[in-house]
Chain A
Amino acid sequence: MASIQRLALSLMLILAATTAVAQYYSGEHTFDGEHRNEASLSVTTGKNILIGASIGNTMHYKHYFNNHWSVDGGMNMQYSKQLYGVKAKGEYQFKVRSFHMFASAEFLYNRYVKYKTNEIDGNISIRFERGYWDITLGETLINYTIGESCYTELPTLTFGAHATLRPRTNNWNVGLLFRNYDDFYYENWNINWGLDFYYKINPTWKLFGEFNIRPAGSMSQLASKYETTGKVGLIYRWK
């Protein structure tokens, strides 16, 4: 059974790698039955219309204070894009009937060196999670500064949907997602489509990845892409 799972996972990885290039997404850390601190490192590659091929990596750390409260820190370094970002996130988990709920607040800073732009995003979200799917709803404030000009966009609805093939407690999974944000950016109405996966190698190590397409706006969707990206990384988990 395990060999079949590994074979299926390998095939999916090969298929995804040939059709899309990577994204700097460090993976939503869903509740899979127990809370463990996590640290992750991933390699990211991608291609978009402005830069062409790009490579970078992300680092991520999540610490649980108890069964409800946790904090996240992340760093994104996209060398070809000359895009560097850091973020911090606080999250509170609680249960309403059979839903696992995650209320979170996030602060994200991005420096687009090539375009001389500083971007600061603030987000509050709530995520509803069941065994096979989760939905995220929230609001984001996006502020950017170029030269001496600064602009704060009106609050943007943040939304995301994610469905998985297997329950979250399974030791492997594959999911489909669409949303207008990712680990290191928030968009207005540009929906990000993706396939993600994980495989628990053992209780402490987990392989994860995501491959997605970022279309150029709601008028394009999959017909006119802006960026194809993906990422593969390892998560180390401990009590």
Chain B
Amino acid sequence: MEITMKKSILYSLMAAALLAGCGLFSSCEKVSPTGVLIGNTSVDDRVKQSMIYYAYHGEDLDWFLVDSIEEYSFLVGSDSHITFDPGRLAEMAEIGLENGDLFYCHLGDLADTKPEYYYNTKAALYNATRLWRNKYLEPLIDEYHKAEDAMFYDKRIKRDTRNFARAWYDWELPFYPVVGNHDITHNGWSLFCDQFKTSFYEFTVQVGDSYDRFIFLDSANGTLGDFQTDEIDKNALQNDDKPIRNTFTFTHTNIFRPSMNEFASTYCREELYYLLNKLKEWNTTIAFWGHVHAWDDRMFNDVRHITMPSMNFKDHPNGGDDLLVRVTVKKDGSCEMERVGLHCKEMSKKELEELGYYVTTK
């Protein structure tokens, strides 16, 4: 009997060791086995929180374009896994500014979850916001000042101008991320939602009488969860009644495995088929996926599926010509996709410190 018990204990230990090994060999690295095994929040909790935020601020997310704009573009990046150096994210923002991209989308695993990493991420986005305001808002404010002068310091106009400037300075860089599995471990969700507020949301871009719809789904746990799928089925996101021209979806966990050695956590079978049917129902033009740090481009069920490579320094220390994707939506609704490079090198801790970033951790 004693021998039997010893054997049972031995086999339990073997099973536990095998389990720990499974955790260690999952696709996303830089995380402890316990971090892989247990996220600090459930997808249901995050989506409930997001829906409350979305109920109050959903309409603020929408972009309304005037008829004179013939086309627009947006940039997509994935898996930046920022630690000390947020250079790749800053470079993405600069590229977007240079090209005049309307906004940015990110497919999750924005930063590895430590407060100092999020501080650096936040700092990089704040710098990008300043540049973005300088480019797009300052000229508008100058216009208002000129109008103000022309009106001989009309007090009413002057007050309007101040309000206008204040309102516009509340605008942040139009950066729309989804939450990734690294964004929820080690209390990461609190860091993520402090900056980005929501993990499940959508907005539209209006061009003439038509709308392009952008849907962001929370799959950081490898599942959409029952609350989110219920909300999707109830059409809880508000834009179902608009005349939609293109739909683009963004989420972290991928469906398609680019290679055999990618042990990415794909969705459970039924959920996978549910999601593929839902994308078709939405008449999705492009569905973007992250997580596996590898490129894949395929058509399935009339939907183009793009799985993105990572943009972090660890995977691509020398950068690459194809780490981002730019989608240009033409006036007639057709879309063109091009791959965009990131080339900045990781800075030394000394250089980062001089720029005001945190470079030490305990």
Seen from chain A, the residues whose Cβ lies within 8 Å of a Cβ on chain B are 48-52, 81, 83, 110, 112, 115-117, 119, 132-133, 144, 146-149, 151, 153-155, 157, 161, 163, 165-166, 176, 178, 185, 187-191, 214, 216-224, 226-227
Most chain B beta-carbon contacts within 10 A, residue among A146, A185, A190, A218: A218
Seen from chain B, the residues whose Cβ lies within 8 Å of a Cβ on chain A are 4, 7-8, 11-12, 14-15, 18-19, 22-23, 26-28, 36-39, 42-43, 181, 220-226, 229, 253, 256-257, 259-260, 263-271, 273-274, 276-277, 280, 298-302
Minimum C-beta distance from A81 to chain B (A):
7
Q: Are B273 and A144 in contact (CB under 8 A)?
A: yes
Minimum C-beta distance from A173 to chain B (A):
12
Minimum C-beta distance from B307 to chain A (A):
13
Q: Are B226 and A50 in contact (CB under 8 A)?
A: yes
The chain A residue sitting closest to B8, CB to CB, is A165
CA distance A146 to B273 in the complex (A): 8
Q: Are B26 and A218 in contact (CB under 8 A)?
A: yes
Asked whether A190 and B270 contact (CB < 8 A) given A219-B36, A220-B39, A221-B38, the answer is no
Q: Are A217 and B270 in contact (CB under 8 A)?
A: no
* Other-chain contact of B15, A163, A185, A221, A222 (Cβ < 8 Å): A163
Q: Are B260 and A217 in contact (CB under 8 A)?
A: no
The chain B residue sitting closest to A225, CB to CB, is B223
CA distance A116 to B8 in the complex (A): 44
Q: Are A132 and B300 in contact (CB under 8 A)?
A: no
Asked whether A219 and B181 contact (CB < 8 A) given A146-B276, A149-B301, A190-B265, the answer is yes
CA distance A168 to B280 in the complex (A): 49
Q: Are A112 and B268 in contact (CB under 8 A)?
A: no
Q: Are A219 and B265 in contact (CB under 8 A)?
A: yes
For the complex of A and B, list the 10 residue pairs with the smallest distance between their C-beta atoms, beginning with the closest.
A217-B222, A216-B223, A217-B265, A115-B273, A49-B226, A218-B265, A163-B11, A219-B181, A224-B221, A117-B273
Q: Are B39 and A191 in contact (CB under 8 A)?
A: no
Given contacts A149-B301, A219-B222, 10 further A-B contacts (CB under 8 A): A49-B229, A50-B226, A149-B300, A149-B302, A188-B257, A191-B22, A216-B221, A217-B266, A219-B265, A220-B39
Minimum C-beta distance from B268 to chain A (A):
4
Would you mind naming 24 contact pairs between A and B with Cβ atoms under 8 Å apart? Answer: A48-B270, A115-B270, A115-B273, A117-B277, A132-B4, A132-B11, A146-B276, A149-B302, A155-B260, A163-B11, A163-B15, A165-B8, A176-B12, A176-B15, A189-B26, A190-B222, A216-B267, A219-B222, A220-B221, A220-B222, A222-B37, A224-B39, A224-B221, A226-B268
Asked whether A189 and B38 contact (CB < 8 A) given A163-B11, A163-B15, A224-B223, the answer is no
Q: Are B39 and A50 in contact (CB under 8 A)?
A: no
Q: Are B301 and A147 in contact (CB under 8 A)?
A: yes
* Other-chain contact of B260, A119, A149, A154, A222 (Cβ < 8 Å): A154
Q: Are A217 and B19 in contact (CB under 8 A)?
A: no
Q: Are B273 and A224 in contact (CB under 8 A)?
A: no
The chain A residue sitting closest to B272, CB to CB, is A144
B residues near A188, Cβ cutoff 8 Å: 257, 263-266
B residues near A147, Cβ cutoff 8 Å: 280, 301-302
CA distance A50 to B228 in the complex (A): 10
* Other-chain contact of A218, B18, B22, B220 (Cβ < 8 Å): B22
Q: Are B224 and A223 in contact (CB under 8 A)?
A: no
CA distance A171 to B274 in the complex (A): 42
B residues near A157, Cβ cutoff 8 Å: 263
CA distance A116 to B281 in the complex (A): 12
The chain B residue sitting closest to A157, CB to CB, is B263
* Other-chain contact of B277, A116, A148, A223, A224 (Cβ < 8 Å): A116
